[in-house]
Structure formats: C-alpha cells, structure tokens
Amino acid sequence: MTAAEQSAEAAREAQGFRLRSWMKWASAGVAALLGLSVGWNLLGSRWQRPGPCRALCAALDKQPNDRARRARDTCHNPDSSQCRSVLVPLALDLGLYDAALEALDSAAGPCSECDGMRAEALAGAGQIEPARQSARRARAARVDDRYAALALAMAERPGNRRAALEQAKRALLFGRGAPAQVLLAELHLELGQLEAAEQELGAVIEADAQNARARLIVARIADTRDHYRDAREGYFRALELRPDFVEARYRLAKLVYRAGARDEARHHLEKLRGVAPPGDPRLLELEQALSRPRR
C-alpha cells in the first residue's frame, strides 16, 4: 500500500470513528430525553390522576400558609381515608367549603364524621337547609359531633345570632377548636361585644398567627372603631394569608371607598371579580356605589 493509500485509509478510519462517536452520543441523548419524558409523564400522572381530593389539593396549592404547605405531601396521591381524615378537616379550617364538599362526595368507604363535615361545608357554602339535614344525621349517630355543632351555629347566624352564639360554644366544648372560637368572636362582634370578640381572637392568633379569618375579624373590629389605618392593614394581612378571600377583599374595598379612595376601591373591585362567584351580591353593591357621582 502506497503512502497515499495509507493516508486515505487513516482518514476513512478517523471519519468512521467520528461518525460512530457522534451516533453513540446521539443515541445517549435520545435515550436521556426519552427517560426524562417518561419520568415527567409519570410525575405528571401522579399529580393529575383523578382522586377524591384532586380539586381540594389544587385549592390548597393556592394557599400560602404553613398548614397548607405541610398538607401538600398528602396530596401526592391521597386515598379516600387520607382525604377525609387529613385534607377535608384542613379545608374546613381554611374556609375552602366547595372543595371540601367535592372531596367528600368523591371519597368512598365508611366515614364516621363525614355527615358532620359535610354539614359544616354546606353551611359555609350558604346551603343552610341541606346543612341542617346533614347535621341532624350526624347528631343522630353522635350527639356531640363537633362539625355538626359548628354547622348548626353557622346556620343559625343569619337569623338568630344569640342562638348561634350558644351553639358555637357547644362546638368549642365538643372540640372544634379554632373555627368555633373564630365564629364566637365574629358573633360577639356582630352583637357589639368587641372586648369579648378580642378575647376569643387573642387565643386563636396566639396559637396560629396565620389564621386568615381571625385576622379578618381583627380588621373588622378596627373598622367598627373607625381606626382606618389598622383596619386597612388588617384586611391586607388577611389577604396575604389567603389571596382568594372574598370577604376580606370586599370589606377592604368598602373601607377605602368610604374614605374617598375611589381609584383604590375600583382596583379592589377588579380583584374581587376574579375570586367572587358569578352573581355575588357584593359585586353588585360595589359596582353601584362606584357608579354614583362623587358628592
């Protein structure tokens, strides 16, 4: 073989080596991409797989407080028992009533407290008569059902606050804890008993400084006393803890509107439209107020 032929052969071998190396690298890259795709799909299916708490987990994921964050581990793939024993009670504590109802309706198997939890969720969602019926079923099985007691207090509140106050005290006695105390504080506020309301709230906030509803009532007390700055800061604090808190956004909009800050009130009205259910009367109230000319 001549020198020229040897040189050509060496060049062909080098080219073949480079081609084989490139193909090996490309095959490894394709395999890695396929593995990543499969892993991503598996991870996605784990989160997207239909389950009894799917909507509830999505709702919890939007809550920036520590209790919701800790619950997300359970959301990876909750079964019915975990959904009802861990996530639904947390949803009720946080006021996520619609998500709690959906989870209760989709979970299967026996559940000793489901009627009571459903009663509280229904009452929180404004379905008063179904809440009463579910509470009666719960109390027929267990007279001291904590969720049923709080549901009945919530159901009594629109028409008879004093009866609701006594029922909320029973719920606290039966072990409903912070939600019962917060409702007691709210009822004391609406009955004009501001010091009693503050006393209830102090214990709640000391135990859980991230309780958004307790922070809302603190702001309402300041609002009632015409302490504008404290009320405004309090409503913002409640919204930091729960960005989709319809009542906090509504009361903040009313507060700044009364103070003459119409542009800020419009801003909060726009925010409220993004979280309030369609046809919510609070939207109409603010729209009508802002459509009137300045005095």
Mean per-residue pLDDT over the chain, rounded: 85
Residue 22 pLDDT greater than 90, yes or no: no
Grade residue 25 by pLDDT with cuts at 50, 70 and 90.
Answer: low
pLDDT at 29: 52
The fraction of the chain above a pLDDT of 70, given in percent, is 81
**Is it the case that residue 186 has pLDDT exceeding 60?**
yes
pLDDT tens profile 52-73: 688 888 888 888 888 888 777 7
Candidates 176, 133, 63; CA nearest to 72 is 63
Predicted confidence at residue 293, as pLDDT, reads 85
Q: What is the pLDDT of residue 49?
A: 40
What is the pLDDT averaged over residues 122-147?
A: 96
Q: The whole model's pTM is what?
A: 0.79
pLDDT of residue 44: 43
Task: Please choose, from the candidates 95, 203, 223, the residue with its C-alpha nearest in 3D space to the C-alpha of residue 235.
Answer: 223
For residue 2, the model assigns a pLDDT of 59
pLDDT for res 106: 84
**Between residues 50 and 180, which one has the greater pLDDT?**
180
Supply the pLDDT for residue 18.
54
Average pLDDT over residues 172-188: 97
Higher per-residue confidence, 266 vs 8: 266
With a cut of 60, say whether residue 103 has pLDDT above it.
yes
